[in-house]
Amino acid sequence: MEQTRAESLIEQSVSIFFKFWVSVVAWKWGIAPLIELGILSYKEALPITIIFTVLSLVQGYFWRRIFNRIHLKKLVHYAVRSHI
């Protein structure tokens, strides 16, 4: 069964929520050391993290909708073929 738009948005929101916390851990072990070494500043790193989080949400929602549409077309195709 195809997801509704709201279900897709909820799915991606939950996914992004967990991706965000993974990025927090990555921040601590990946970006923070670069800041401590003076290679990167907080002012540079935080907006980058926010932009990639938003892009990830949009991308996940887009692809979920595309694949749901493809999946639905396949189901209809097989249903029609099985009745012939």
* pLDDT value of position 50: 84
Domain that holds residue 20: 5-82
* pLDDT value of position 70: 73
Structural domains of the chain, count: 1
* pLDDT value of position 84: 58
List the chain pLDDT tens, one digit each, 84 residues: 567 788 878 878 888 888 788 778 877 888 788 888 988 887 887 887 787 788 888 888 887 787 777 766 766 666 677 665
Q: How far is CA 20 from the centre of its chain?
A: 10
Establish how many alpha carbons lie within 13 A of residue 39's alpha carbon, considering only the half-sphere containing its beta carbon: 6
CA distance 84 to 77: 11
